[in-house]
Amino acid sequence: MGILDSKIPSGPLADKWTKHKNDINLVNPANKRNIDIIVVGTGLAGGAAAATLAELGYNVKTFCYQDSPRRAHSIAAQGGINAAKNYQGDGDSNYRLFYDTIKGGDYRSREANVYRLAEVSGNIIDQCVAQGVPFAREYGGMLDNRSFGGVLVSRTFYAKGQTGQQLLLGAYAAMNRQINRGKIQSFTRHEMMDLVLVDGKARGIIARDLVSGKIERHSAHAVVLATGGYGNVFFLSTNAMGSNVMAAWRAHRKGAFFANPCFTQIHPTCIPVSGDHQSKLTLMSESLRNDGRIWVPKKMEDAVAIREGKLKPTQIAEEDRDYYLERRYPAFGNLVPRDVASRAAKERCDAGFGVNKTGEAVYLDFASAIKRYGKEKAMTSGIKDPDEATIIKLGEEVIEAKYGNLFQMYEKIVDENPYKTPMKIYPAVHYTMGGLWVDYNLQTTIPGCYCAGEANFSDHGANRLGASALMQGLADGYFVLPYTIGDYLSKDIRTGKIPTDSAAFDEAEKQVRDRMEKLMSGSGIHSVDYYHKKLGKIMWNKCGMARNAKGLEEAIKEIAELRKDFWENVKVTGTIESKNQELEKAGRVADFLELGELFAKDALQRNESCGGHFREEYQTEEGEALRDDENFKFVAAWEYVGEPKDAKLHKEDLVYENIELKTRSYK
């Protein structure tokens, strides 16, 4: 356990995946019927994996804490899914998608994994179309594409602003077919509490029925974790309230290395914070940056007047607007990668040009797009010399067809009509590129424990390009894991059922019960949310969009002190053997309080800026991220040895044989 062997196949980059599939061991159909697999998490990665593994003949158990797999956080993905099909004929290819993803991640991801992702991306679209996913289509009936940040082509397939939901319904339908066949046993409202190791191999989990409170034992020949990211360590994020790190962190405590925890993405296009009462933030899809132009006033006095409510954005003349992304990055404009756009927004707001009451917002304006589309629609509709009112009406109809549900959502939350006045947006925590370390087969450093989707670290480096999360989740679930897990399971065809009445299961269950009893024994001074909010403020202020050594050192100390206070003084009402949502939250926050410290430790040791990891000490004269390829071109994989501050660092050196490392530029 614990040796970093990435198992990357030899040979040319474009041949690695094909060669690997031909070389690895398989399990024949008759033997698959005798092998059990547990899948924890039923979002896109977990749902796709469960459905495909069951279709192949394995016996699958799925676990999710939601009341249905349909409610996985994957439904929140709005804008689209990338694939290198080159339907637009604009020069796209597998290599171009591979290159954009590596560059977008600021050269901190594995070549082999990313090329495989690009290679199977087209298959994902075919699979989902066959499932009935209603992708947008152009007038001729072909699937439509739009652009996302960090690329110069249109490769993003979409279903209005509901792409994640529609893709998840496709995976859920595939799961339901297997549930109906009896090949999947679905355990909803169940939470994984710990991973069970037998002779060093993952052989099952301890789960808690969240309705009855009952502790259950479930065995299998392999365990797949597909439980999403850990953005809620910041308390305020775009993640669902229940999103947590428990499954991954419990595996980490059992020996799975945690990789690059500080690589966290701040999304530039979120509805700004409105006050201390908030418990989550709302994402506005990056797809809006296709047509929305981002700006702040050029004049400080205009920004002040707007903040004081004395001036409306529509009263600012065009020449008095600073379209700062178009100014700073003319080649990519409003479609620069998320980390670049986020830092640029912060810089303008820090300089005093923010446009809401707190000074932490910029405008996302659709007026130009509405007029452009309106004129085009008038032309194609045979309307000659249309007046401005007609142009705006027609343009709004086009925008409504492309983004209507997003505009509706914004208006419901903010109570402003985004067709008539620009949206206000500001960066917020969104996605985590870090996660459990996995090899090319998606296996962690624990034999038999696999990790897929956002829960692993494998594909995005230091920053994820928009519309690539859905691509990775479905690639892992439909097209990677079902091949690679067979190589491990081929050694288990004679193992037989894994018993749950063993010493390993006894000990794991005891540890789970002891931990819950300890959570219940706090003095009861403060609520769970009190500690979560305090942790979130430490993380945002000292480990957020910009970090420095002093702040990170303070964060490590403060989080350790907060964690000590939490275990002594947290108030958890109710009982263990019953439905108890406070106990659920307490267990998740306890894990965040450990992860947060490791996050800060990881950020402190990485003395460079790259992607979403921006160390203030390491930046160019223009304020861009300054990488150190000589000393930090590696994956930081942390081994659990007790206290997070004592975690042991292992390095996986990143080798670039097919891409030349350059200073990342979008100008």
The catalytic residues are 338
Q: What is the DSSP track for 402-468?
A: HHHHHHHHHHHHH-S-TTTSPEEEEEEEEEE--EE---TTSB-SSTTEEE-GGGB-SS-TTSPPTT-
CA distance 594 to 463: 23
Q: Count CB-CB contacts under 10 A for residue 318.
A: 9
Counting Cα atoms < 13 Å in the Cβ hemisphere of 207 gives 28
R_g over Cα of the chain? 25
CA distance 211 to 463: 38
* Burial (0-12, 13-18, 19+ Cβ within 10 Å), 59: buried
Q: Which two tokens stand for residue 390?
A: 């007609």
Angle formed by the axes of helices 163-181 and 111-131, nearest 10°: 70
Expressed in angstroms, the distance from the first to the final Cα of the chain is 45
Q: Which two tokens stand for residue 356?
A: 């809401």
Cβ(78)–Cβ(283) below 8 Å: yes
Sign of the dihedral through C-alpha 486, 490, 494, 500: negative
CA distance 182 to 178: 6
Q: Count CB-CB contacts under 10 A for residue 577.
A: 11
Sequence letter at residue 485? I
